[in-house]
């Protein structure tokens, strides 16, 4: 799979698999960006919880139910995702290597992003091991890309 920016203008991104668009994400704002995405399984909103708190919430678009909270208050390049289903994932990123990865608490890689270009217009996405079994996978893919584009 691959996140791409179809146009140099605007803030819209598409997740493509086998040449098909399987999800769309719009990122808006500069210092504390928010995202709105739609894909398989529904739509979600990604937004800062409180100004300068370092926490980002993901809400289901139609029910407004919080499905996850990402906390990056301890680091600018990493954070902890806690889902409403009780899962805990760690996100580590390396700007210079152009990569970010969600891992299990034991360090097992689950979702890997390899981004390209100065303004990160695209990224290869790999879903590894137990990551393929995550029910939250559609919105975690959107959250990960929103974080890469706007925060990391």
- Give the tokens for residue 12: 């819209």
pTM over 0.85: yes
Check whether 50 has a pLDDT greater than 80.
no
Map 106-134 to HEC letters: CCCEEEEEEEECCCCCEEEEEECHHHHHC
For residue 120, what pLDDT band results from cuts at 50, 70 and 90? low
Quick one: pLDDT at residue 63? Answer: 87
Quick one: pLDDT at residue 56? Answer: 92
Catalogue all structural domains in the chain, each as residue range(s) with its CATH number. Answer: 2-150 (2.40.160)
Quick one: pLDDT at residue 36? Answer: 94
Q: Residues 52-110: pLDDT tens digits?
A: 678 999 999 888 899 999 998 777 678 999 999 999 999 999 888 889 999 999 999 99
- Angstrom distances, CA of residue 151 to CA of 65, 107, 134: 23, 22, 24
Q: Residues 27-45: pLDDT tens digits?
A: 988 777 889 999 988 999 9
Please provide residue 42's backbone torsions phi and psi, each rounded to the nearest 5 degrees: 130, -160
Look up tokens 């889902």; give the residue. 83
């Amino acid at each position: 799979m691959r996140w791409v920016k179809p146009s140099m203008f605007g803030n819209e991104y598409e997740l493509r698999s086998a040449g098909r668009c399987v999800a769309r994400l719009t990122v808006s704002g500069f210092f504390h960006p928010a995202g709105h995405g739609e894909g398989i399984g529904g739509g979600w909103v990604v937004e800062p919880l409180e100004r300068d708190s370092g926490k980002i919430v993901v809400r289901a678009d139609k029910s407004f139910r919080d499905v996850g909270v990402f906390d990056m208050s301890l680091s600018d390049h990493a954070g902890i995702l806690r889902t409403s289903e009780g899962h805990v994932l760690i996100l580590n990123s390396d700007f210079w290597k152009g990569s970010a990865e969600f891992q299990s608490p034991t360090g097992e890689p689950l979702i890997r992003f390899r981004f390209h270009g100065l303004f990160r217009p695209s990224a290869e996405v790999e879903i590894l091991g137990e990551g393929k079994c995550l029910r939250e996978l559609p919105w975690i893919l959107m959250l990960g890309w929103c974080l890469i584009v706007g925060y990391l």
